[in-house]
Structure 1
């Protein structure tokens, strides 16, 4: 074996290895520097890369996420294609079941004020970002103008939960609108959004003259935009679908309703108000309504009351919200979920007896199936 050229070959090989290492190191430095400048999933060197078109968004997963991708058409190893996948939040299909879980931000208030809408107090502006004001827009000049109907709760970017008696029989569908992001009806807030109601679903359990299942699901013509002033309310956690909250649990009812004791007393409140109420024992609530024409069913009704506070005329359809604060949760970080829908009160007037709310925990399967079915119909564009 001839070893005359061995030292030269070894030196050449060593030089080649060093050059390769240097090139790799430089590439890593360039890539790291450029990557660190990336924002919102886009890389700083994307301008040097050629991509194909994005494909259609995929199915909405049970984590309320959907994904899409595009092809990389560049073959230059120095500028790799790193931005070929995208994800976004979605609220369709089976992910509705996770609306009340951590996969979707729901039930979180912005700087809430805990205070004790008849007998209540004005809410801090936009501290209940899922409350919906339902209005009727009558364009006839004689009876024109916007008239408040009821309240509602945003449980999905395109769906509002309210009381059946608010929207069935009294109003033409094309005149009913939902307003979100509102606090003061006397002025328009920059984050206020208005959507037309295009479909109303009622629960099959309703019967003529029966005040059970006083609930309606409203589909909006287009999803609202979520943000700091418009958020989703949580549906009840699983544990509260199989067992009730204890008597005297403190919850909060909200609305733009009248402040007098009688339905005809006083004007509607121009600002959103809240009242701190306590869940009433079922037997006590049944006794309070024993001499009226209605019967309280603990399976579908929940009652709440407080001395000097109550929901009243105009608050119907709004929510009764209870907080879910596990041990160790810091103040202000708890989630609020929709426990009841304001339904009716005692004929004697507001503030004398418990108010009655439609229990939301028994509606979960109906809501899930209804929203999935309506989303398959697509978005009306007229």
Structure 2
């Protein structure tokens, strides 16, 4: 047991700093996925988000392609059962057998969530299939500095009523800490729920994916793009020319990038806001989950509350006008940087490592005796 714990701590049983659990110490795997680099169109993301209480707008052609079962084993659908039916509200990512990461916008005005559920392991919400799991929500944590007017700190954690079991169709996303150079990752994808073209007479939401590129935030913030509305704790992904994009069904959907060395993917962003859908110079803007690594650990009880220092007060930047009139969320209002915890966190890990190494040496001495 000491040896296994040591391997997990060193990251030899899975990507370091990416998962806090179970699933045999792994995260970021896509067991039944295959190389679709020639089949998946490149995604020039630009989106207009609103909570998807209907599938309105989800049928827009934004360049994504449907996925086969198991291709995105960490993507989930958060659904609400209302008087007029059950509706997909937003997407998210499973990061622990009992925890889902999504955006705070999903719960804006949510009220009673006793009839909300999370679907895990599905690619077609009308026919989830036997490999899918359904869980009720035990509780949720919206970032206390979330600003709906600017989309600042647009992140939330959902605790499921009970854990799920990992399988080829259900896997954990890897949340990077401050040591990962996210900007250097080259192969990235995003996914979201869209209306299937054959969904007549009613909507049938299926999971679609698209290949995207991380874009320089300075370019994204230039005067002809978003004019300074994108903050450091956000990412831009897409293409300057547009043409491929996320839209309403993608809110909270994951942005993942393949590790430059290992055969696994990092969960680097959550679909947050944009202006229009698939327009030139209007890429998708994502909450950068790396900047909220400590906040996530605090909410999950892995670090004490005092570890999460509040972000500095910054004056809000003017939000760009919405093309679609759907209340696009724009801007992140504070910087939830990991810099303030990097040193203490690494010291803590080093202390754990030395303790486990001592246990291992004692175990080996006992075996020799």
Which TM-score bucket, shorter chain as reference?
0.5 to 0.7
Residues 1:252 and 2:172 are matched in the alignment: no
1:130 equivalent to 2:50? Answer no
Deviations 1:170-200 (Å, cap 9, x if unpaired)?
A: 3531122110011112213111111111211
Q: Is the 8 A contact 2:177 2:293 kept in 1?
A: no
1:216 counterpart (146, 152, 156): 156
**2: CA distance, partners of 1:98 / 1:182:** 23
Matches of 2:302 and 2:184, distance apart in 1: 35
**Equivalent residue number for residue 321 of structure 1:** 256
Aligned residues, how many?
268
1:201 deviates by 0.7
Q: Which runs of 5 or more residues in structure 2 are unaligned?
A: 42-60, 304-369
What does residue 279 of structure 1 align with?
214
Q: Tell me, yes or no, if the aligned pair for 2:233 and 2:291 is still in contact at 8 Å.
A: yes
Please report the RMSD computed on the Cα atoms of aligned residues, expressed in angstroms.
3.4
Query: How far off its partner does 1:98 sit?
Result: 5.6
Aligned to 1:108: 29
Match of 1:365, SS state, is helix
Residues 1:168 and 2:108 aligned together: yes
Kindly report which structure 2 residues correspond to 1:1-382, keeping only aligned pairs within 5 A, or say none: 97=17, 99=19, 104-113=25-34, 114=36, 115-116=40-41, 118-138=62-82, 140=83, 143=84, 145-207=85-147, 209-236=149-176, 238-240=178-180, 243-246=181-184, 249-257=186-194, 270-287=205-222, 288-290=224-226, 295-297=229-231, 299-306=232-239, 307-326=242-261, 334-346=263-275, 348-352=276-280, 353-372=282-301
| CA distance in structure 2 between the partners assigned to 1:182 and 1:171 by the alignment | 26
Give how far 1:245 is off: 1.2
TM-score, scaled to structure 1: 0.62
The higher radius of gyration belongs to: 1
- Given that residues 301 and 359 in structure 1 are in contact (C-alpha distance below 8 angstroms), is that contact kept between their aligned partners in structure 2? yes
- Deviation for aligned residue 1:257: 3.5
Secondary structure at 1:283 match in 2? helix
Alignment partner, residue 49 of structure 1: none
Contact 1:252 1:321 in 2 (8 A): yes
- Say which structure, 1 or 2, has more relative contact order (CA 8 Å, 6+ apart): 2
Distance in 1, matches of 2:247 and 2:302, equals 34
Distance 1:312 1:252 in 2: 15
Return 5+ residue gaps in structure 1 as ranges: 1-59, 66-88, 90-95, 261-265, 375-382
